[in-house]
A and B are shown apart, each in its own frame.
Chain A
Amino acid sequence: MFEDFFNVVKKRWGDGEEEYKPPMFKCPRCQGTSPLSKYEELHRVCPKCNYHGRLSSQERIAITVDKESFKEFNANMRGADPLDFPDYKEKQAELRGSTGLSEAVITGTATIKGSPVVIGIMDSRFMMGSMGSIVGEKITRAFEYATEHKLPVIMFTASGGARMQEGIVSLMQMAKTSGAVKLHSEAGGLYISVMTDPTTGGVTASFASLGDIIIAEPKVLIGFAGRRVIEGTIKQRLPEDFQLAEFMYDKGFVDMIVERRKLRSVLSHLLKLHGFYPKEA
C-alpha cells in the first residue's frame, strides 16, 4: 500500500514522462486484465470471470480458520532423495529458501468458527504442489491423527500430480494416503475435500477424490490427465471449459462449487451438521 503510494508520487513528481500504471492481473481463464490490487482485495479472485486463483498456504489459513488456532504438525520434516536424482536436493533447498515453505503441504489442527478440524493445505508454489514422500507422509499422518482423535479432516488440494524426481516412491504415496483416508472413513470420520487450482494427476487419483463431500472453487482445473497429453492423444483442441470445476460438477464428480468468500461459513455449517460443534467454554 505504502509502496504503491510512493510509486505514484515518484512517477508524478519524478521525470514527469510516463503516467503511473498500476500493476495488472491477467486472468488465465478469461484473459481479461484487472488491477492487481482489486484481484488481491478479492483474495485472488478474477473480478471479471470469477476464476479463483492460487493462494499460498498461509493466505488460505488466514481466510479459513479461526485466528491463531492453527497448530502445525511435523514442521521440521524435510525431504530426502530416494532415487539419488540429479539436482533434486539442491532444488528442494532452493525452494525452501525462495518460498519460505518446508514442502508442498502443511498440515495441522485448527478450529473453524469453533469447530475442531485436522486441516491440510497444499501449496502450488513448491514444485507445483507435486506429491513426493513428504506430502504423502504428512497427509497420511494427518488422517491417522484424525482417526485416533475422532476429528474431521479438511484437505485443500492443489497439485500438478506426482513428484517426478521421486519416481515410483511418489506413486506409492497415492496408496499410502488413500489407505489412511480409507481407515479414517471406516472409523466413521468425516472428510471434506476442497479442490483448488489445480487438482490433477496422482492427487486427483488418490485422496482428493475420496472425500465424503467434495467441494471445488469456481473455474479451477480438476482432472487426471493433463490437457496437452489428451490433445496429443486425440489430435484436436479441447473446449475451453474442459476439466474446469463446473465441468466436473456437471459430470457428477463434485458435490458443490463454493466461492471463496463463502467457504469458511459453508465448512463451518457442514462440520456442525456432522456434530462437530465448538467446545463449550
Chain B
Amino acid sequence: MDEKRTAWERLQLIHTKGRPTIKDYIPQIFTDWYEMHGDRLFGDDRAIIGGLARLDGEPVTIIAEVKGRDINENKVCNFAMPHPEGYRKALRIARQAEKFHRPIICFIDTPGAFCGVAAEERGQGEAIAKNIAEFMTLRTPIISIVLGEGGSGGALALGVCDELAMLENAEYSVLSPRGFASILWKDASREQEASELMKITAEDMVRLGVAEAIIEEPLGGAHNDLDKISENIHEYLSQKIPEKCKKDIDVLLKERYTKFRKIGAFTE
C-alpha cells in the first residue's frame, strides 16, 4: 500500500486519465459476460450496465456504473450519472438474480445521480428510494465495490449490500466536495477544505462502519497496473462470494439490515 494520501490527493488520483473503469475490469475478472439492456419501462440508460457472467466458473449478476474512458464513451454513459431508468434497469436485473439464485456484484463509480429536468420528471428520487428499499430484502447475496467515486444517493442506489469494499483510493460521500462547499459555505472554491472535513476515504468508511474491506491498489494507483488491481478485486470476490452464498439467507438478510441499522451517532 502507498504511503497515506490525503482525501484531496486521492480525489485527484481517481480522476486521473487512464484509471480503469468497469469495462476494463469485466474481461479481466469474469468470463461469459452477457450484457442485458433496458428497464422495460422507458429505455436503456448506458450509465449503468448489467448482465450475467461467471466468476470462477459460477454464474453471477453484475450491475455497474460506467465511466467513460474518453469523451465519446462519456457521451454515451453520461459521465456515469444515471437517470431513473438506469436504477430501474438495475432493479430489474437484480430481481432476476434473486429469481435464479445468483449472487449480485455491484460496482459503484459515479459522481451522483443525474440532476436534470428529464430525471426529475421520471422520478429520480422515487427510483433511488425504490432500489434502496428493495435491495435491503433481495434474497440473494450482494457485494458492492466502490471503484472510484461513490457520489451520494446515486451510489447508494447500488450500495445496499451484505458487504461493501472500497478500492484503496476510492471515495464515498454524501455529495461532491464541490457541491458540499457550495451548499454549506456558498463557496464552491473551498472544495479541497471540504474534502478533508467530510471524511470520504476508504479508511474513513471502515471506521464509520460503512465499508468492511479495502482493496489495495498498485503503487501509484489502479491505472499503473490493470492486471494487478484486477487480480486484487478478483481475489476479494473469490473469497467473499462463496462465504456469503454459504450463509442462511434469513441470517444474511438480518445482518444486512443490521449493517445499516447501527450507523448513526446520538445520545439519549
Which residues does A use to contact B, with CB under 8 Å?
74, 76-83, 85-86, 133-134, 136-137, 140, 162, 164-176, 178-183, 185-186, 201-202, 204-210, 223-226, 229-230, 233-234, 238, 242-243, 251-253
Report the separation of the CA atoms of residues A211 and B60 in the bound assembly, to the nearest whole angstrom: 32
26 A-B pairs (CB sep. < 8 Å): A80-B266, A83-B198, A136-B264, A137-B264, A140-B261, A168-B199, A168-B210, A169-B208, A171-B152, A174-B129, A175-B136, A179-B160, A179-B257, A180-B261, A181-B133, A202-B153, A205-B153, A208-B129, A210-B133, A224-B124, A224-B128, A225-B119, A251-B122, A251-B123, A253-B123, A253-B125
Contact B199 A167 (CB under 8 A): yes
The verdict on B134 contacting chain A, using a C-beta distance below 8 Å, is: yes
Report the separation of the CA atoms of residues A179 and B134 in the bound assembly, to the nearest whole angstrom: 8
CB distance from A261 to the nearest CB of B (A): 27
Choice from A81, A83, A140, A171 contacting B153 with Cβ under 8 Å: A171
Contact B265 A82 (CB under 8 A): yes
Report the separation of the CA atoms of residues A179 and B184 in the bound assembly, to the nearest whole angstrom: 28
Choice from A83, A175, A209 contacting B130 with Cβ under 8 Å: A209
CB distance from B210 to the nearest CB of A (A): 6
Report the separation of the CA atoms of residues A186 and B253 in the bound assembly, to the nearest whole angstrom: 13
The verdict on B20 contacting chain A, using a C-beta distance below 8 Å, is: no
Contact A175 B159 (CB under 8 A): yes
The verdict on B1 contacting chain A, using a C-beta distance below 8 Å, is: no
Choice from A164, A185, A243 contacting B175 with Cβ under 8 Å: A164
User: Apart from A77-B268, A164-B183, A174-B132, what 18 extra A-B contacts exist at CB < 8 Å?
Assistant: A79-B266, A83-B197, A134-B266, A165-B184, A166-B174, A172-B210, A172-B260, A173-B264, A175-B136, A178-B136, A201-B153, A204-B125, A205-B128, A210-B130, A225-B113, A230-B120, A233-B115, A233-B116
Contact B129 A206 (CB under 8 A): yes
Contacts of B152 in A (CB 8 A): 162, 171, 202
- Interface 1/0 per residue, B210-248 and A, CB below 8 Å: 100000000000000000000000000000000000000
- Interface 1/0 per residue, B179-221 and A, CB below 8 Å: 1100110000000000001111000110010100000000000
Contact A205 B125 (CB under 8 A): yes
Which residues does B use to contact A, with CB under 8 Å?
113, 115-117, 119-126, 128-130, 132-134, 136-137, 152-153, 156, 159-160, 172-175, 179-180, 183-184, 197-200, 204-205, 208, 210, 257, 260-261, 263-268
Contacts of A233 in B (CB 8 A): 115-116
Report the separation of the CA atoms of residues A255 and B40 in the bound assembly, to the nearest whole angstrom: 23
* Also in contact, A81 and B265, with CB within 8 A (given A172-B210, A175-B160): yes
Report the separation of the CA atoms of residues A170 and B174 in the bound assembly, to the nearest whole angstrom: 7
* Also in contact, A224 and B198, with CB within 8 A (given A133-B264, A230-B117): no
Contacts of A185 in B (CB 8 A): 133
Contact B205 A207 (CB under 8 A): no
Contacts of B268 in A (CB 8 A): 74, 76-78
Q: Which 9 A-B pairs have the closest CB atoms?
A: A204-B125, A133-B264, A225-B115, A80-B265, A82-B265, A224-B125, A209-B129, A205-B128, A224-B124
Contact B126 A209 (CB under 8 A): yes
Q: Which of A172, A173, A208 has the most CB of B within 10 A?
A: A172
What residue of chain A has the Cβ atom nearest to residue B194's Cβ?
Answer: A164
